[in-house]
Structure 1
Amino acid sequence: MTHPSHEAAVEVITAALDRGDLVTVAGLCTVDYSGRASSTLGPGERHVMLKPDGTAMVHTVEGRQPVNWQPPGCEHEVDLADGRLRIVSTRSTPEERLVVEFERLLQASAFGLADEEDLSLSGTHEDLKDRVLEDPGRIEPGFTPLATERETPAGAVDVYGEDADGRTVVLELKRSRAGPDGVGQLERYVDALRRDLHADAEVRGVLVAPSATDRARRLLAERGLEFVSLAPDTDDDA
């Protein structure tokens, strides 16, 4: 509904909450929170969302984060206060209360949404590791992974293996553009393994990422480390 009366909005929102719908309301309102702290927002045009799981969020026209919110598990109630729509979201443990009072309504809507799918992430650190393990030749011909998350005095190495000549190879994986921090991390692993292995062991360090900054590439060259360009996704295989 656009520009609904306060009475009509209360009726629609009450029925929607009883059905377990998602509710959105926009309009000129004040917001008061009390609980672990307290806060007050004076009159302003804002968007309020009430979710079936008890979540409540108040958004302004700027930014992606709500200015006030209540977590899942809260109870939502609506009524008329001095003839105006009032939304109250209450949490019992710890005790918290969010009160939104509307002076003017721009919109009130309810949606019976169904969403049973879980979020599927791609382009992650694990995706990049899987690409290396599925086809070690993406690093170089003859590379053989021997372990993942191998512990060293400097921390766990992403991928530990050997090259075609039997030399130890340490891979530090970055899912996005690598910078100087990644070079420093790789160098610490290489130094730790050189101390940990037998004295004449040769250890190569390879930074694996879609790209690297100019400074990172200079540091790699200065410290005798290497770089392989590889992205977590499979677009470059097409």
Structure 2
Amino acid sequence: MPPECSPLIACCAVPRRCGCVRRCSASFFFYYIASFYLPSTWSGSFENRNRLKALGATPYIAGDVAGNMVFLGHALGAGIVALGGALQLIPWLRTHAPTFHRWNGRVFLATVVILSLSGFYLAWIRLEPPQTLTELSPSINGVLILLFATLTLRTALARRFATHRRWALRLYLVSNAQWFLRIGVFGYFVVNQLLGREASFSDPFFISGHSAVTWCRSRCWKSTCAPKKARVRSQKPCSPEGW
């Protein structure tokens, strides 16, 4: 691994052909969110948002107009983040449509910041404050989003584009945490159902997965707090082919 490549970026250096899979899955996630929440909004059947109540998800609370609106905006914004972030990673758009890349990036940055703040409201004010590390984990992720968004913007304004791309990729990863979570959780339940096995959140899969997420977030934090010389050794881009 070249010395200028951080472990976090190196483990994300996938071949270009994987970009198509990433963009298709982001488009599917956008469609999933829109098809899940928009029909209930148009029809006024807001209680349908609690279809995943068996998994502990009750986003709709009768009488809480402000909280329900904040959650709806938070959910729909996640789809924008997934799709807009995937478009930012397309090398052709960065090269041939720089204006689109800049404006899409501004929308992406503004959206992730708003979603982080609304997430703090949903986790700490609308509901009971987090009591366990698992419940606190989304808030930690929100802090990382705000931090990475700031560094992404600062490096872009300073025209340090090699460093900007690294922070933008880190921001993309943490801002799409819920997307990755859903892929893992629902994929695990589907596979177990096909195998005729009853899955549970107490399975080793989720325990080991939580440990892996904690490790990844600690790596993000360490890479952020490391001295500047250790964090940025070269202006040469460290990225997948075409990045």
TM class by shorter-chain length? under 0.3
TM norm structure 2:
0.18
Higher helix share: 2
> Higher Cα Rg: structure 1 or 2?
1
Q: Which has the higher contact order (CA 8 A, sep 6+)?
A: 2
TM norm structure 1:
0.18
